[in-house]
Amino acid sequence: MEDCRIVMKPHGFPSGRGARVGPDFSLKSQIPGLKIREFMVYVPGGSDKSAIMNKEREIRGRFAPSPTGPLHLGNAMTFLVAWLSVRSRGGRIVMRIEDIEGHGRDPAVIEGNCRDLLRLGLEWDEGYRAGGPHGPYRQSERAELYRRALDRLLEQELVYPCVCSRRDARQAGAAPHAGDCRMYDGRCRGRFADYAEAARALAGSGRLPAWRFRVPDREVVFRDRLCGGQRVNPALTYGDFPIARHPDGIGYQLAVVTDDIDMRITEVVRGGDLLECTPWQILLYRALAPEFPLPEFCHLPVVTGADGKRLAKRTGSLTLESLFERGVRPGTVLGLLAFWGGWAEFGEELTLPELLDRFDLSALRGRKPCLDGAALRLLGAE
């Protein structure tokens, strides 16, 4: 039998309001062997967004592309596994466009990313273009939520403005933490009365202060579906981390957690390079919505080129767009991704329903997907 977790007070309800347990609950809890993974209790008078009715928690995953360029095969692998994981559990997929950082606002790139996913058959139920109750679904249109989240952190005195550049921050730690030059020593803790004062200190530099999260000296423990148990004390591995370099808190770390809470995301599937930010994000979850059940995390092996380096948009990795333009069939691409995942022989062509039948997340564990010469030849790209 799986865990039965009961959440008595959905996020957003003032403390002390109380929760009423409905008849369904007692019924379910009396059936021996019934599998209940998560159970939210309806609190009368709550808004639709906050209260999930008296039923098992719906599985909700997300696609979260940063539209900084056309999608490559590494991106495709992430979206495929996110899709398979949600669909194999009967859940819903939300499409959220993460267009707040860098130059990710070109509508043509966003459209291109969506088109590529749809060509592979990777559709979504809610979000960008599809609509839904948790919109808008472009981060560039959600600034108000990030500001509110930042205010919650400020109320708890969990963040402070910091004028250190990324380089200063790295150097700051070099001496006291020899061997870990990424450590930040917290030198801006308590240094400025507010953001405006920090901004004045940077006047003329062309830089904006960051908001840094004051990390507690304690371990964050979580289990990743692929990478297993994780136990990290962020105070010893990095120190206070930046959540955004913007007066209103607009930045990846704060936005991703704010949105995953607001959109009721229950599972996060993404590239393994983001595993190391996860303890930070868990601290943000806990600070912003203590009652919100953490999503399940699943960090995927990173797809590399034959040189062992991660595929990246900026290095002009082979794009899905260019493959489709050259007549490569979606089934060939899916077959290669499935081979990387351990669900197909090399060179097989597969449809998504076939792949869904074979999907087994654990087969991915320890694999090293590589766009090597053989893969390039398969795609007619060598």
CA nearest neighbour of 225 among 95, 63, 331, 89: 89
Question: Which of these segments, 58-66, 173-181, 207-215, 306-314, binds ligand GLU (CB under 6 A)?
Answer: 58-66
Cα–Cα distance between 85 and 189 in angstroms, integer? Answer: 41
Identified binder of ligand GLU from the candidate list 65, 239, 331, 335, rule CB under 6 A:
65
**Closest CB 180 distance from ligand GLU, rounded Å:** 24
Among 199, 235, 274, 370, binds ligand GLU (CB under 6 A): 274
**Helix/strand/coil for 100:** coil
Write down the least CB distance from residue 66 to ligand GLU, Å. Answer: 4
Q: In a 10 Å sphere around its CB, with 0-12 CB exposed, 13-18 middle and 19+ buried, how is residue 297 labelled?
A: buried
Nearer to ligand GLU, 99 or 185 (CB): 99
Q: Is 150 in the site for ligand GLU (CB under 6 A)?
A: no
- Which residues within the stretch 322-351 sit at the binding site for ligand GLU (CB under 6 A)? none
Hey, which residues between 221 and 260 contact ligand GLU (CB under 6 A)? Answer: 256
Task: Give backbone dihedrals phi and psi of 319, rounded to 5 degrees, phi first.
Answer: -100, 155
DSSP 42: P
Among residues 98 and 240, whose Cβ is nearest to ligand GLU? 98
Segment contacting ligand GLU (CB under 6 A): 1-9, 64-72, 176-184, 297-305?
Answer: 64-72
Task: Please answer whether residues 231 and 206 qualify as being in contact, where contact means their C-beta atoms are separated by less than 8 angstroms.
Answer: no
Residue 266 sits in the site that holds ligand GLU (CB under 6 A) = no
Residue 115 zone, left/alpha/beta (φ > 0; ψ -120 to 50; rest): alpha
Which amino acid does the sequence have at 219? E
Q: Does 267 bind ligand GLU (CB under 6 A)?
A: no
Distance between CA atoms of residues 180 and 66, nearest Å: 29
- Cα–Cα dist 26/304, whole Å: 51
Is residue 86 within the footprint of ligand GLU (CB under 6 A)?
no
Does position 64 bind ligand GLU by CB under 6 A? Answer: yes
Per-residue contact string for residues 96-125; x = within reach of ligand GLU by CB under 6 A: --x---------------------------
* Least distance to ligand GLU, CB of residue 343, Å: 22
Let me know: does 253 contact 242? Beta carbons within 8 Å. yes
| Cβ-based nearer residue to ligand GLU, 104 or 239 | 104
Taking only Cα atoms into account, the Rg of the chain, rounded to an integer number of angstroms, comes to 22
Residue ranges that bind ligand GLU, judged by CB under 6 A: 64-66, 98, 256, 270, 274
